[in-house]
Amino acid sequence: MESGGTQMMSKGTGTVYRIVVRSELGESYAVAFEGMEMETNHGYTVLTGEILDQPHLHGILDRLNGLGLELLSVQALPEDANPSAGGKRDPKEPKP
């Protein structure tokens, strides 16, 4: 997948996104964002995980809005981003 000339990190058929909101969500909220890693730090929560398509992304954003959370950023991660966010990938084959 490409966006603005940058390849996005894919895991399965979706794109890995990082979503940041103001407020530290407790573990009880993790079920609302199943499949996403949830980290809290200094008043913020970072959700990282695979988003399958635009309706899936909008569903997560609607859920955050429904909880009254302030959305700070939504970022599709480039392929060369931290491998822990996208899982292990096979090394690229050299071009002949």
CATH code for the domain in which residue 20 is found: 3.30.70.980
- Does residue 70 lie within any of the structural domains? yes
Which pLDDT belongs to residue 81?
A: 59
- Does residue 33 lie within any of the structural domains? yes
List, for residues 37-57, the tens digit of each pLDDT value: 999 999 999 999 999 999 999
Distance CA 88, CA 82 (A): 10
Distance CA 90, CA 54 (A): 26
- Does residue 89 lie within any of the structural domains? no
- Does residue 6 lie within any of the structural domains? yes
Distance CA 63, CA 90 (A): 34
CB 78 within 8 A of CB 8: yes
List, for residues 6-29, the tens digit of each pLDDT value: 444 444 678 999 999 999 999 899
Candidates 66, 92, 89, 94; CA nearest to 16 is 89
List, for residues 78-88, the tens digit of each pLDDT value: 866 544 444 43
Q: Is 56 helix (H, G, I), strand (E, B) or coil?
A: helix
Domain range holding 12? 2-79
CB neighbour class for 92 (10 Å; exposed up to 12, middle 13-18, buried from 19):
exposed
- Does residue 21 lie within any of the structural domains? yes
- Does residue 9 lie within any of the structural domains? yes
Which pLDDT belongs to residue 9?
A: 46
- Compute the average pLDDT of residues 53-77: 96
Number of folded domains in the chain? 1
